[in-house]
Amino acid sequence: MVSPSLLALLLVALSTVAAIAMSNFIIYSADFLLPQYAARFDNYAFATGIPLGVAPLLIAPLAYAIFRLTELKAMLERSIRTDPLTGLLNRRGFFEHVQRVFEQGDERSHPVAVMMVDVDRFKDINDTFGHAVGDDFLMRIARGIDAAIAGDSRHNVAARIGGDEF
């Protein structure tokens, strides 16, 4: 996939080259088709210089918009698969990941294990100490689970499936 920066740069460069080619083609055509018209060097210089100066100014905002939209799309893609509190995969991200793992091979080539953690009486923590403490508690659990499964395998993932379910 082409990076957004490279795409924006290519858009500016190609539009500038196209503007120069079209300007010079118009002057050349006029010189060829109109007998009383005699193109001079300065005609071609203007036909090259003006697009070189103007095209990037006209195309740069469009290129920047493409760049930002691509960045925002990637950020949105990440956010719909990530739990905002813990930074772990959310339910959607977890099941998409599991689907990819199962599609890559059978259980003999890639053994799979799933562990479910449900924090008992988590509501009591929120009710007694407040939601800020409850959120901190969930973040600590998430970091602990993530650290425990960290390894060499790119298949090892931790996810927050529900409120207090990992």
Angle, nearest 10°, between helix axes 122-129 and 131-149? 140
Set 83, 118, 152, 164: catalytic member:
164
SS3 assignment, position 35: coil
Residue 18: both structure tokens together:
């196209």
Q: Is 31 a catalytic residue?
A: no
Please give the Cα distance from 166 to 158 (Å, whole number): 7
Q: Which of 122, 115, 110 is nearest to 145 (CA)?
A: 115
Alpha helices for the chain (secondary structure H): 4-33, 41-79, 91-104, 122-129, 131-149
| Residues catalogued as catalytic | 164
